Amino acid sequence: MFTPRRVEGLRPRIAEISDELLDAMAGQEKVDLLDAFAFPLPMQVICELLGIPAGDRDDFRAWSSVIVASEARPGEFPGAVMSMVAYLREILALRRATPGDDLLSALIEVRDSEDRLSEDELTSMVFLLLIAGYETMVNLLGNGTYLLLDQRERWEQLRAEPALLPTAIEEFLRFESSVDTATYRFPAEPVEIGGQEIPAYAPVMVSLLSANRDEARFPNAGSVQLDRSPNLHLAFAHGIHHCLGAPLARIEAQVAFAGLISRYPSLELAVPAADLAWTPGVRMRGLVALPVTLGQAAQQSTSA
């Protein structure tokens, strides 16, 4: 389902969604790019893939932002999880009654006819796909746009050389990784790393962001190079838990940045970069809002 070949087939639909959103922004002088574009694009894509009605997005966004910042908002965390689970159970019941040609119906089929998933496993799988499928993407689109606009010459370089887009996206992922720290790891036996003894089963938080700025691995790690190659970053983690959605994320990002740059070539930050606020917590790296002025729009959207 999430192989590079399968997700490549989604590109035309992703481009349609992207174009609709870019068209809807036309005529406005200033927008919050997260609200107008970076959030609704991946949300619509993952909802369509799973077969989830997109109507309840706002609730959904509120719960999810609490869940991914759990250590910064501990009081709100249990309520947000309960609301999300109750909502997903309703949706699963709906899909079970009226199956469609979507991932949710396929997962329900696996659960009901082959009994390979328990009901709780089914719910948590959908929970993970839904949250992982868009919170991270909002940050990739937001952080990448910020990196391009903060130093205008990067934006102009990408406009002049659109072929740089795939390596530029890898550099956004490396430099401002959407996922700051991986989920907890527990060593099965004591290990020593960098002179630090870690006892067996001690919880370890691995900072992907820090690894991605490792000077020993990335020459001039502190500078953004849109043509950086090789760029073997850890933004999608590593090993058996390597991100399942990485091929989809790359396609969504290519479509989104190509569309944004061609449709709004004069896009600019509407506030000084120093005034932009970053979300609290150590789990995710993303902006709270990204106010931009749109400038003159080009006639045609060309996300595809």
Residues that bind ligand HEM (CB under 6 A): 46, 128-129, 132-133, 136-137, 140, 178-179, 182-183, 208, 235-237, 241, 243-245, 248-249
Quote the least distance from Cβ 178 to ligand HEM, whole Å.
Answer: 4
Quote the least distance from Cβ 296 to ligand HEM, whole Å.
Answer: 30
Quote the least distance from Cβ 298 to ligand HEM, whole Å.
Answer: 26
Q: Tokens 């119906």: give the residue.
A: 105
Q: Which of 237, 289 has the CB closer to ligand HEM?
A: 237
Rg, the chain, Cα only: 20
Quote the least distance from Cβ 237 to ligand HEM, whole Å.
Answer: 3
Q: Which of 236, 264 has the CB closer to ligand HEM?
A: 236
Q: Which of 62, 243 has the CB closer to ligand HEM?
A: 243
Whether a cis peptide bond, with omega within 30° of 0, leads into 162 is no
Q: Which of 285, 297 has the CB closer to ligand HEM?
A: 285
**C-alpha–C-alpha distance, residues 60 and 67, integer Å:** 11
Quote the least distance from Cβ 127 to ligand HEM, whole Å.
Answer: 10
Q: Which of 134, 155 has the CB closer to ligand HEM?
A: 134
Quote the least distance from Cβ 131 to ligand HEM, whole Å.
Answer: 9
Q: Which of 177, 297 has the CB closer to ligand HEM?
A: 177
* Beta carbons of 214 and 195 less than 8 angstroms apart: no
Q: Tokens 């090789």: give the residue.
A: 230
Q: Which of 118, 183 has the CB closer to ligand HEM?
A: 183
Residue 120 backbone class (left: φ over 0; alpha: ψ -120 to 50; beta: rest): alpha
* Residue type for position 126: V
**C-alpha–C-alpha distance, residues 239 and 235, integer Å:** 12
Quote the least distance from Cβ 235 to ligand HEM, whole Å.
Answer: 5
Rounded to whole angstroms, what are the CA distances from 178 to 45, 68, 217, 284, 301?
18, 11, 19, 6, 26
Quote the least distance from Cβ 301 to ligand HEM, whole Å.
Answer: 22
**What pairs with residue 207 in β-bridges?**
181
**C-alpha–C-alpha distance, residues 61 and 198, integer Å:** 37
Q: Which residue is nearest to ligand HEM (CB)?
A: 245
DSSP string computed for 204-252: B--BHHHHTT-TTTSTTTTS--TT--S----TT--GGGS-TTHHHHHHH
Q: Which of 3, 28 has the CB closer to ligand HEM?
A: 3
Nearest CA to 4 among 258, 238, 245? Answer: 245
Residues 6 or more apart in contact with residue 285 via CB below 8 angstroms: 139, 143, 176, 177, 178, 179, 180, 209, 278, 279
